[in-house]
């Protein structure tokens, strides 16, 4: 792991205000090697006495953060030890991020699919480029269930019907619709997004850290799903991704160019729709 390129780069704008840039071109795909890197970032966030607000952004045009890497054997992921919450590594990291005393903001420009959407949902606030952001939970189209918390988180945030639409359709939700649904706080014109998020982050960073943490903790108490709910989702993902339907669809998606062909990554709902058509005789 030490020789792998660092995919999550921290910039200390000030002691109170950090930015985390996701930099794993060409598609910002998240895999087993990404887990210890993101875990290291979250551990720093938890342990630093001064940091108050952290913004997650992408350094890769067109992609905020995308789905899990399907090339490494699943055993690589399953064999990783549980985190400090007792949850498997990825949900552990996301739960800890949500419950940390630090305010977290996702600045979404490009595609946030699968794990990317799940990281956004684990942040306290989400601001999307009106023209360039696309959010989705694509997993149903590939024949399996999500595993990083969206089934548990989305109904609390946007209501049952809209949560089911996102999870059961596997469709894309561009910035303006994501805003309308409550998937993001708001969609901002792309040319204004950086300044908007930076201004908000600097304002929050100027406030008292303990008071911010107290407010977040009390809001968390009435809005967050339990760790048990999030853990059950991860178990369902591991089970479902091994089923024949998922293995069939993933094989066909890889043959079409998943993780290689930009068109497949950019138009994922189109291709998941194709692999679910009956095989031609």
Q: Catalytic annotation on 118?
A: yes
| Contact of 55 with 20, CB cutoff 8 Å | yes
**Cα distance between residue 281 and residue 279, in whole Å:** 6
Exactly one of 139, 179, 233, 265 is catalytic; which is it? 139
Exactly one of 7, 57, 107, 118 is catalytic; which is it? 118
Per-residue exposure over 73-108, b if at least 16 CB sit within 10 Å of its own CB, e if not: eeeebeebeebebebbbbbbbbbbbbebebbbbbbb
To the nearest 10°, report the CA torsion of 35, 57, 124, 116. Answer: -50
**Cα distance between residue 103 and residue 45, in whole Å:** 10
**Cα distance between residue 108 and residue 215, in whole Å:** 24
Q: Catalytic annotation on 139?
A: yes
| Contact of 259 with 265, CB cutoff 8 Å | yes
* Active-site amino acid positions: 118, 139
């Amino acid at each position: 792991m030490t020789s792998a390129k660092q995919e999550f780069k921290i910039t200390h704008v000030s002691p109170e205000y950090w930015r985390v840039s996701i930099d794993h071109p060409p598609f910002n795909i998240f895999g087993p090697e990404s887990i210890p890197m993101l875990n290291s970032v979250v551990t720093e966030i938890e342990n630093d006495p001064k940091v108050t607000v952290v913004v997650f952004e992408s350094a890769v045009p067109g992609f905020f953060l995308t789905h899990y890497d399907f090339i490494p054997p699943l055993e690589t992921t399953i064999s990783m030890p549980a985190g400090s919450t007792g949850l498997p590594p990825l949900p552990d990291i996301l739960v800890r991020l949500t419950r940390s005393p630090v305010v977290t903001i996702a600045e979404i420009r490009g595609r946030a699919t699968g794990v990317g959407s799940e990281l956004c949902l684990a942040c306290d606030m989400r601001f999307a480029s009106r023209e360039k952001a696309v959010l989705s939970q694509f997993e149903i189209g590939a024949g399996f269930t999500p595993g990083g918390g969206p089934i548990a988180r989305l109904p609390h945030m946007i209501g049952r019907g809209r949560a089911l639409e996102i999870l059961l359709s596997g469709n894309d939700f561009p910035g303006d619709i994501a805003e309308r649904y409550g998937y993001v706080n708001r969609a901002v014109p792309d040319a204004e997004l950086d300044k908007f998020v930076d201004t908000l982050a600097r304002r929050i960073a100027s406030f008292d850290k303990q008071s911010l943490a107290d407010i977040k903790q009390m809001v968390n108490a009435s809005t967050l799903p339990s760790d048990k709910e999030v853990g059950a989702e991860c178990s369902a993902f591991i089970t479902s991704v091994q089923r024949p339907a998922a293995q069939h669809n993933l094989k066909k998606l890889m043959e079409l160019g998943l993780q290689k062909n930009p068109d497949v990554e950019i138009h994922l709902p189109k291709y998941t729709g194709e692999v679910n058509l009956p095989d031609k005789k």
